[in-house]
Structure 1
Amino acid sequence: MRVAIVHDWLTGMRGGEKVLEIFCEIFPDADVFTLIHLRGSVSKIIEERNIQTSFLQKIPLTKRHYRSFLMLFPLAIEGFDMGAYDLVLSSSHCVAKGILTSATAVHVCYCHTPMRYVWDQYQTYFGAGQKGLISKVLMPPVAHYLRMWDVTSSERVDYFVANSYHVANRIKKYYKRLAEVIHPPVDCSLYTPQENYKEGNYYLLVSAFAPYKRIDIAIEAFERMGLPLILIGEGQEERRIRKMAKKHVQCIGWQSSESLREYYRGCKALIFPGEEDFGIVPLEAQACGKPVIAFARGGALETVHGVYPSPRESPAAKTLIDSESPTGVFFTKQTPGSLMEAVRFFEQRTNLFDPRLIRKHAENFDRSIFKEKFKQYIESNYSAKIF
């Protein structure tokens, strides 16, 4: 049996690539197909695979400005020859699920999200507040074409697996398909609490610098409160974000996994201001015993046992007293003011967050659990003996 793994692009180690890494461990002989590969940008486990790239790899500027070629992505993903493969596993947040397979192949898509650029996050990326010819004139018809292609190509998938119930609901809404939910993994063997636990003296935000991450909310909130915030990440909004960061916010770029672990261990809490499809970062922080202050939408509701500054804000009227072993605090509006209220609430109650219970919660999402669940899922939906 021959297996192919299809991933949108390989340009850095983020949440999707950490899932891909486990797929490469499950199927060590699988070939990997991707639109663009920046060599050395992902882990050794992925780099050692037989990686095939699309024609976009050879076009000048695409390696650094690949998002500008969004309209060509469907054509590029459909250009791969999958005729020799029995099982195709796509790891998709953009176009990977649109791969063309043979009539006899089984296609399983692990969907991180339907293409956010043209669905629920379209206004964030290309809405009225954006400047430039592409956003104002060219993008509306391109987005219309991509939506039609996205829905049509979803019919090529035999089985959908979603990374969260939040994403499963979007798959049902946009594609009219049902999806099994298997939450992504956190490496609990790497991300561990320090032996002598200490409360940190700074807050931490770890994220790609993309529009929907709403890092601007956190910067404004912490500059106004006068509390220290460290930003770890990079991306298309980096220039704007660095310009916003002044006295109390520090940008230090991407860090190695080992360095990131030390920042998790040293922080007071993780700040998570965006609406994420799932979000592995909050689990990495919790694996280190640290609480999370998160926007109460999306995947954070599935990974954080959060309490609310005010019972009136909670859908279930949660209070701190009746909450079961809280691992963080939720804020309900994507505004600096709402985040500030959550941080002040947390500052007054830090002793109520038990690092041992926070760590125990994160262990429910460990790599070993994800690997076993996914292997069982593949075996249950594929008649040939795989493992």
Structure 2
Amino acid sequence: MLQCYPQAELFATIDFLSARDRERLGGRPIATTFLQRAPGARTKFWNYLPITALAVETHDVGDAEMVISSSHAFAKGVVTRADQLHVSYVYSPMRYAWDLHHQYLRDYRLDRGVKGMLARLMFHRLRAWDRQTPNNVDFFMAISKHVRDRVWRTYRRPAKVIYPPVRTHELAVQSHKDDFYVTVSRLVSYKRADIMIEAFRAMPSRKLVVIGDGPELAALRARCPANVELKGWQPDEVVREHLRAARAFIFAAHEDFGISPVEAQACGTPVIAYGAGGSLETVRGAAGGARPTGLFFHEQTAASLQRAVEAFEASRADFDPQVCREWSEQFSEARFLHEFAQATQRAWSQWQRDPRTLESALTDS
């Protein structure tokens, strides 16, 4: 986004970026909120969830003609004037308040008792705020058709789909594949690393490599069979080596988009994915006549995944590394830059002509 608008000012709720990440943003100054100075904001930001909406609303963006919010939860709530165009690029309506609400309560042990009642009250208020703030957005974009549908269901607003940028140009195809499967994921419950481990426990002759860190790492390691290797966090080059060499990439989460499967395909590696959410857009199955870049399993269970791996083994000749690579290019960084710049420029032109017709003129049917 900043490449499209290099002179834009940058606002964030908090800023604890590493030097490497700050360099990616060109070292530009970042305006933060009062939460930047709150005790424990770096490591326990979750504790400030009840006042994060208030923090975002303190940003003064009054000097801008166009405001672009990059929002997975709160950023779209920034306060703008009636004469400012507000474009919001949405990664998802806040999942812990809507689709994954009950799962989050269970994962954080907030589904019962006094703490549970207080948590439910907080989320109730967050949902009310989340339903109100879309009125201050003039044009929604969504990272996938799946998220576009969730934006409509949650906010009753249309959204234009622009897939997020994947750095496919930094990834190389490897045609020769080794004898292991791989997944790259933050180890939290909804990523479902547990069913991957159980599926490969039932297939002791096949090897799975799990790359990533997270709160479930210790528990998963305790139940890990000999043919599953938990490598924890790894640097980018190690991740890329495994993506290039793996027989297939395993993806068991119900995600809004999912960048890792696209990266795997950019390396010429097919994907075995749970057939729901963004995976249905980022992976091409066997239906439709074109050569597949992966296949799906349709129940989020170890048994279903096991059957999918066995089906993949029986049809490996159907998967071509170069076909996987070509499919991944539709999610490239260059494509995002073109589509995002075009969409925001068209929005600005339509806004100046007639703000009332902006959404109908620009969003997908």
Task: Note the C-alpha offset of 1:124.
Answer: 1.6
Q: Deviations for 1:358-378, whole angstroms, at most 9, x for unmatched residues?
A: 111111221111111111101
Q: Deviations for 1:115-139, whole angstroms, at most 9, x for unmatched residues?
A: 0001011122114x75256863321
Structure 1: gaps spanning 5 or more residues: 1-22, 308-317
Task: Note the C-alpha offset of 1:47.
Answer: 5.8
Q: What is the rounded CA distance, in whole Å, between the counterparts of 2:235 and 2:32 in structure 1? A: 25
Q: Deviations for 1:313-366, whole angstroms, at most 9, x for unmatched residues?
A: xxxxx4xxx642100010000011101110111112212101111111111221
Question: What TM-score do the two structures reach when normalised by structure 2?
Answer: 0.89
Asked whether 1:131 is paired with 2:116, we answer: no
Contact 1:272-1:292 at 8 Å conserved across structures? yes
Q: What is the rounded CA distance, in whole Å, between the counterparts of 2:16 and 2:239 in structure 1? A: 22
Q: What is the rounded CA distance, in whole Å, between the counterparts of 1:246 and 1:267 in structure 2? A: 19
Contact 1:231-1:249 at 8 Å conserved across structures? yes
Q: Deviations for 1:212-269, whole angstroms, at most 9, x for unmatched residues?
A: 2222211221223223222222234333333343423222233333332211101111
Query: Which amino acid in structure 2 is aligned with residue 124 of structure 1?
Result: Q
Question: What TM-score do the two structures reach when normalised by structure 1?
Answer: 0.84
Counterparts in 2 of 1:81-160, with a 5 A limit?
81-127=60-106, 131-132=109-110, 136-160=116-140
Task: Note the C-alpha offset of 1:43.
Answer: 5.8
Contact 1:82-1:102 at 8 Å conserved across structures? no
Q: What is the rounded CA distance, in whole Å, between the counterparts of 1:134 and 1:367 in structure 2? A: 47
Asked whether 1:169 is paired with 2:149, we answer: yes
- The 3-state SS of whatever aligns with 2:42 is helix
Match of 2:11 in 1: 33
Structure 2: gaps spanning 5 or more residues: 353-365
Residues 96 and 235 from structure 1, CA distance in 2 versus in 1: closer, same or farther, beyond 3 angstroms?
A: farther
Q: What is the rounded CA distance, in whole Å, between the counterparts of 2:6 and 2:89 in structure 1? A: 18
Residues 235 and 54 from structure 1, CA distance in 2 versus in 1: closer, same or farther, beyond 3 angstroms?
A: farther
Match of 2:195 in 1: 217
Match of 1:50 in 2: 29
Match of 2:355 in 1: none
Query: Which amino acid in structure 2 is aligned with residue 219 of structure 1?
Result: I
- The 3-state SS of whatever aligns with 1:72 is helix
Match of 2:238 in 1: 259
Residues 100 and 337 from structure 1, CA distance in 2 versus in 1: closer, same or farther, beyond 3 angstroms?
A: same
Q: What is the rounded CA distance, in whole Å, between the counterparts of 2:127 and 2:67 in structure 1? A: 23
Q: Deviations for 1:176-223, whole angstroms, at most 9, x for unmatched residues?
A: 0000111112212101213xx211221111122232222221122122
Structure ranking higher on relative contact order (CA contacts 8 Å, 6+ apart): 2
Contact 1:184-1:370 at 8 Å conserved across structures? yes
Residues 169 and 354 from structure 1, CA distance in 2 versus in 1: closer, same or farther, beyond 3 angstroms?
A: same
Q: What is the rounded CA distance, in whole Å, between the counterparts of 1:115 and 1:171 in structure 2? A: 10
Asked whether 1:180 is paired with 2:160, we answer: yes
Q: Which stretch shifts more, 250-259 or 282-291?
A: 250-259
Q: What is the rounded CA distance, in whole Å, between the counterparts of 2:181 and 2:321 in structure 1? A: 16
Residues 245 and 30 from structure 1, CA distance in 2 versus in 1: closer, same or farther, beyond 3 angstroms?
A: farther
Contact 1:211-1:237 at 8 Å conserved across structures? yes
Residues 350 and 118 from structure 1, CA distance in 2 versus in 1: closer, same or farther, beyond 3 angstroms?
A: same
Q: What is the rounded CA distance, in whole Å, between the counterparts of 1:333 and 1:276 in structure 2? A: 14
Q: What is the rounded CA distance, in whole Å, between the counterparts of 1:149 and 1:353 in structure 2? A: 47
Counterparts in 2 of 1:358-377, with a 5 A limit?
358-377=324-343
Contact 2:217-2:232 at 8 Å conserved across structures? no
How many positions carry a matched residue from both structures? 347
Q: What is the rounded CA distance, in whole Å, between the counterparts of 2:14 and 2:137 in structure 1? A: 22
Runs of 4+ in 1 over 4 A off after TM superposition: 132-135
